[in-house]
Structure 1
Amino acid sequence: MLASYWYHSSTHENWPERDFDPAGKFTDDTRRRMESMAGPGSVERWAARQKDKALHIGTYEAAIENIFRRMDDQSGSSEQFFLHRVKLRPDSVIQAGVHKEPTNFVGDAYLAEVCGQGVNVYRYVNVHEDPSGVSLAVNATAIHAVQSIPIPLPVDGAHPWIVDATARLTDACSMPPVQPRGILRKIGVKPTSALASEARELEKEVASSLPFTSRTRLDAGFDEAAFAASPTAFPAKLLGLTRLVSDFQAVLDALDSQPWRVV
């Protein structure tokens, strides 16, 4: 297991950051409020607790599904994501067995609460992404090196599907708004621009080629205001996202081309 590659997706390019300060962006007012409510040293205690949180790594499938989930559930479609491939230290200490996910109600895990002394790797069954697959909760001390790439991969703007999709969107710009029907009209739902409606249709079409769990979460976040400046951007993003599933070898090849960053 220690010789296997593991994966993590994040909006942080240099994940994991050993020198990350959870309270680094706190204003003086925020620090004063925390200390007035929880006493002197509360900021430092909170930051130390944040640093103690386990990091989650898992299968390639789990990392990609996490991207789709965050785009959909956490309004992350406009964020830049990165895919990280992880190599563990050979001297990492693994908790015996495979367990339930050790997270609390906000999704945080602390290995000191579920592992023996000195353990820095905890295996659990993932029930959120790549269900039934094994993921790991690890301390940063277990990670030896990481390769990273931005997601989605760049796509050739001359790709036939992108050319066709861009033409459909461009044609929609000159069409009248799509009027709501039935109950939607009765409750006062406003008309939708033909451009936004066509973008949703494109998204539905490409989503139909994805596994069911990802299909319902694909949300590329069409930016209507930015369309005129970059007409191919949305189709390219859609195709790039679906390639994470349909052409995963290209993603792995892109990772292979990156140097290992020792952490």
Structure 2
Amino acid sequence: MRIFILFFLIFFAFADERIGLIRGQSLFLELDKKDLIEVKTKDKKLSFFTHPKNKDKIVALFTLPYKNPPKITQITAVYKDRSEIFMIDSLEGDYKSEKLQVEPKKLFPPKSVQSRIEQELKEANAVYSSVTREVLFDGVFKIPMDSFITSAFGKARVFNEKVASYHSGTDFRAAVGTPVRASNSGVVRIAKERYYAGNSVVIDHGYGIYSQYYHLSHIKVKIGQKVKKGDVIGLSGATGRVSGPHLHFGIFAAKNQVDPLDFIAKFNRLFQ
């Protein structure tokens, strides 16, 4: 028992910092650039880019999944002659719940569309598993429209009193046909109609950061097209699995779906 306690104290004595992070949220670690070899967790390397306001530092991006996050994650920044260790504690957060009514076929799709749903998931996973190792974003991120938020990220959802899930983005009130603008500059990786998300646009901003715009009535961009921050990429609508017209806005970063407003707030602070 004494040996275990001694090991525990020694292990955490070498941790440079202990950080609490809510599941579904993002962390931007600012580290010295000189002699840095890699930034990693136990099972993967983290993407990093040069700090936008300090060329002597880098920013490493880490995110926690909303579902079943690890209780503790060790992040190690490996330098030529030393290492810096950060222990990330997973916190629950104060997520709410809501009930929604949608078309029954969107909850229990007929067999005729199962292969389509699987193919769309495969296509999306192929996009999100790749990392463009260059900066495509241009400064801070912006909210894609100036409107009232009708449903926040992370809400536990019960559809038609039967199917439980969680809300993977932020919904904005928007009448059909309202312009939707790119949150930042990048390259369009998805631009098509999908079974659940309806007319969808996904933009790659580099270093594993993607923004998502779902349920559009009209798509104004094509796959591979370069867009600038503020460009109109589509019009809001009510396509896919919805209970009414709105814009679903999401951020996928560092291999996880995250709270887009939390991500934007933390990302934008890098430029202050």
Common fold: TM-score over 0.5 = no
Q: TM-score, normalised by structure 1?
A: 0.27
Higher normalized contact order (CA 8 Å, seq sep 6+, divided by chain length): 1
Q: TM-score, normalised by structure 2?
A: 0.26
* Greater helix share, structure number: 1
